[in-house]
Amino acid sequence: MTQRTLVLLKPDTVRRGLVGEVVSRFEAKGLTIVAMEHRTIDAAKADEHYAEHVERDFYPPLRTFVTSGPLVAMVLEGDEAIEVVRALNGATDGRKAAPGTIRGDLSLSNRENLVHGSDSSESAEREIKIWFPSL
């Protein structure tokens, strides 16, 4: 089933010069870039995106991190795109993520883990509306 998913290349990806490397992995897999934008977000936008996490202990430093510099927001489309992107991203903690995944190959952090991918079709729909309301 063709799906769309919201992907963020978080500020660490931009700071570390890994945008090309990460985008290449999605493209090489066969996913199509439907929208892509370089953006810097404020705390309100971070809270909207991470609505399910705002009360969590790890959220305040996460908010500081995702608002710390520019990121790249994208919508990717393809067969089973939501699950495929999450598999390419790897486990949340870069130290535990499997080699071969983006986080497993390129991140050593639980917070600065380079990428976000929607976790369900409901999340994808909600997040695409937040980031790309005209789609």
C-alpha pair distances (Å), 20 with each of 16, 62, 69: 11, 23, 17
Residue (29 or 111) nearer to ligand IDP, CB: 111
Contact 75, 34 (CB under 8 A): yes
Instruction: Summarize as ranges the residues that interact with ligand IDP (CB under 6 A).
Output: 53, 58, 62, 92, 110-111, 113, 116, 119
Residue (30 or 58) nearer to ligand IDP, CB: 58
Q: Cite the annotated binding site for ATP by residue number.
A: 10, 58, 86, 92, 103, 113
Residue (78 or 90) nearer to ligand IDP, CB: 90
Contact 118, 124 (CB under 8 A): yes
Q: How far is the CB of 62 from ligand IDP (least distance, A)?
A: 5
Contact 10, 71 (CB under 8 A): yes
3-state SS class at 37: strand
116 is catalytic: yes
Q: How far is the CB of 134 from ligand IDP (least distance, A)?
A: 25
Residues carrying an active site annotation: 116
